Amino acid sequence: MYPRLLINTEKFRSNVLWLKDLCESRGIKIAAVTKVFCADEVLVKILVDSGVSYLADSRIGNLKKLADLDIEKILLRLPSISQARDVVKYSDISLNSELATMRALSLAAKEEGRVHKVVLMLELGDLREGILLENFDYTVSEILKLDGIALVGVGVNLTCYGTIIPSEEKMELLSSFASRLEEEYALDLEIISGGNSSSLNLLLDDKMPEKINNLRFGESIALGKETATCKLVDGLFPDVFTLEAEIIEKKVKPSVPDGERGRDAFGNEQDFEDRGDILRVILSVGRQDVNIDSLVPSDKNAKILGASSDHLIVDISDCEAGYEIGDIMSFDLNYETLLGLATSPYVEKYYI
């Protein structure tokens, strides 16, 4: 059935093992982030078999699917107070920056008869989640008063909002706060988490401070990429995932629509360049499944012309391959397109 998400499990496994070897040699444990492929069960099994230390996801709904697996789970998105009970039930560890939330987790943990581990997120400039450094001591002392909660580490998230690139200085700053927790508060820290795939470059350049012992990898495992500079990493496969869609119309048509112009199905006005008649195909995939603007045809001579909810129109005038009705075209994916496709119930997952 098409459209389908073609998943090369061997390339996926290879990426995981390559990153695990690299991290192990530096004393770093991997939290494998499953959100970009919706915690797909086949891929999660490969992660667990490969020996990653944690599974991590931003959504409780995904963590629920992992409940039976004997591996620690991390909730990546700051917990919602309204979900405190489920946070404690379905994750062993969560990343936190709000005392009110941790108080709710404390109550929930007591009700569940568990101890929930928290990692305190520090704001180091990217301006997404994290406490301001000036509030560090107060926050720590308040957390230490809570029953049912164990403060097991500190962490940072960079690049996702402010596009800040992880630097040796930022990692040293994180390390220094970890040392303070260990020395001034006599805590034994399990997790000093230096960020996501954007921290991979520091590791590759051998500039990651020794104190950092945890990284949370999603994009690098799934797409072979380091986020901040968008560079492919030598040794990692970028093409674990491919979209395949089927051709349902092939015709030569004018490049400019004929008639009075209004707006398209999404309320936008469109410009059309007159390039005469073009050979084009329609594929049975659309904006309901994927953000078309980030999709890249694997055939470098094919050009995406536009799309509506369920139709994708591609110019194949310059293609050497002879496409026919019923043929399949493939597309290379990035973070955004993979996220959409993995989430769409209309897209079949096909493993090779």
Ligand X SMILES: *Cc1c(COP(=O)(O)O)cnc(C)c1O
Total count of residues recorded for the chain? 352
Query: Which amino acid is present at 72?
Result: E
Question: Can residue 197 be called a binding residue for ligand X (CB under 6 A)?
Answer: yes
Site for ligand X (CB under 6 A): how many residues?
Answer: 15
Q: Min. distance of Cβ 183 from ligand X in angstroms?
A: 26
Q: Find out whether 90 and 67 touch, Cβ atoms under 8 Å.
A: yes
Question: Can residue 227 be called a binding residue for ligand X (CB under 6 A)?
Answer: yes
Over the window 113 to 152, marking each residue x when it contacts ligand X by CB under 6 A and - when it does not, the resulting string is ----------------------------------------
Determine whether 64 is an active site residue. no
Which residue, 157 or 175, has its beta carbon nearer to ligand X? 157
Which residue, 79 or 218, has its beta carbon nearer to ligand X? 218
Find the catalytic residue in 11, 20, 29, 35: 35
DSSP string, 81-140: GGGHHHHHHH-SEEEE--HHHHHHHHHHHHHHT--EEEEEEB--SS-SS-B-GGGHHHHH
Q: Min. distance of Cβ 35 from ligand X in angstroms?
A: 6
Question: Can residue 196 be called a binding residue for ligand X (CB under 6 A)?
Answer: yes
Question: Can residue 194 be called a binding residue for ligand X (CB under 6 A)?
Answer: no
| Helix, strand, or coil (residue 340) | helix
- Cα(63)–Cα(112) distance, integer angstroms: 17
Over the window 29 to 48, marking each residue x when it contacts ligand X by CB under 6 A and - when it does not, the resulting string is ----x-xx------------
Any idea which residue has 């943990």 for tokens?
A: 109
Q: Min. distance of Cβ 151 from ligand X in angstroms?
A: 17
Q: Min. distance of Cβ 199 from ligand X in angstroms?
A: 9
Question: Can residue 217 be called a binding residue for ligand X (CB under 6 A)?
Answer: yes
Helices vs. strands in the chain: H and E counts, helices first = 10, 18
Cα–Cα nearest to 350, from 42, 44, 32, 47: 42
What does R_g of the chain's alpha carbons equal in angstroms?
A: 23
- Cα(333)–Cα(331) distance, integer angstroms: 6
Question: Can residue 58 be called a binding residue for ligand X (CB under 6 A)?
Answer: yes
Which residue, 36 or 202, has its beta carbon nearer to ligand X? 36
Question: Can residue 6 be called a binding residue for ligand X (CB under 6 A)?
Answer: no
297 DSSP β-pair partners: 331
Region of 172-180, 216-224, 228-236, 270-278 interacting with ligand X (CB under 6 A): 216-224
Region of 84-92, 212-220, 287-295, 338-346 interacting with ligand X (CB under 6 A): 212-220
Count of CB atoms within 10 A of residue 92's CB? 18
Token duo for residue 104: 């709710």
- Cα(89)–Cα(112) distance, integer angstroms: 7
Peptide bond into 238 cis (omega under 30): no
DSSP single-letter state for residue 6: E
Question: Can residue 331 be called a binding residue for ligand X (CB under 6 A)?
Answer: no
Q: Among 106, 157, 201, 337, which residue interacts with ligand X (rule: CB under 6 A)?
A: 157
Q: Min. distance of Cβ 270 from ligand X in angstroms?
A: 33
Which residue, 65 or 110, has its beta carbon nearer to ligand X? 65
Question: Can residue 337 be called a binding residue for ligand X (CB under 6 A)?
Answer: no
Query: Which residues form the catalytic set?
Result: 35
Which residues of this protein are in contact with ligand X, per CB under 6 A? 33, 35-36, 58, 76, 95, 157, 196-197, 216-220, 227
